[in-house]
Amino acid sequence: MANRKTGGAADGGSGRSTGTRIDGFAEDLGKVLGTARARAEGWISQRQEIVRHLTDLRDTASKLLAALGHEAERTVGREHPAGPRRMEAARRGPGRPPGSRRKKPTMSAEARKAISDAQKKRWAAQRTRMKK
């Protein structure tokens, strides 16, 4: 068993006793833990502040949506004589006379077949190019 002497090789040659080194380590550890605790408390207070702001935003948004809903109900519930005509005009498009809706374009069976055959021809050509 090695002899332990103050200032010897056993304590790293620092000249301090083991008790002094432990005290220094405990002091450093206390500082680190104190700093960590202070930062954690700061983060917690920041989090609480953020929660408070988000709660205020949520409450304000809820009030605005409720007010908007009441305004929409009041507007829809109102009988407006031009309402149905306005809806029909919106479907027709601007500047079109009543009764003239846009007609859906139709294609003949021959035209559809010609387009289909042309596309099949392009696909076949592409397959032959890929095989080469």
pLDDT 10s digits, 2-21 = 454 544 444 455 556 888 88
Percent of the chain with pLDDT over 70: 67
Find the mean pLDDT for residues 114-125.
Answer: 96
Is residue 121 domain-resident?
A: no
pLDDT 10s digits, 28-70 = 999 999 999 999 998 998 999 999 999 999 999 888 888 888 7
What pLDDT does 90 receive?
59
Q: Which domain holds residue 23?
A: 14-93
Is residue 83 domain-resident?
A: yes
What pLDDT does 120 receive?
97
User: How many other CB atoms are found less than 10 A from the CB of residue 11?
Assistant: 16
Is residue 98 domain-resident?
A: no
DSSP letter string, 40-107: HHHHHHHHHHHHHHHHHHHHHHHHHHHHHHHHHHHHHHS--TTHHHHHHHHHH-TTPPTT-PPPPP--
What pLDDT does 78 receive?
58
Q: How many domains does the structure of the chain reveal?
A: 1
Task: Pick 67 or 97 by higher pLDDT.
Answer: 67
CA pair distance 1, 96, nearest whole angstrom: 108
Number of C-alpha atoms within 13 angstroms, CB side, residue 93?
5
Is residue 43 domain-resident?
A: yes
pLDDT band for 110, please (50, 70, 90 cuts): very high
Is residue 24 domain-resident?
A: yes
Is residue 127 domain-resident?
A: no
Find the mean pLDDT for residues 23-30.
Answer: 91
Is residue 89 domain-resident?
A: yes
What pLDDT does 1 receive?
44
Is residue 129 domain-resident?
A: no
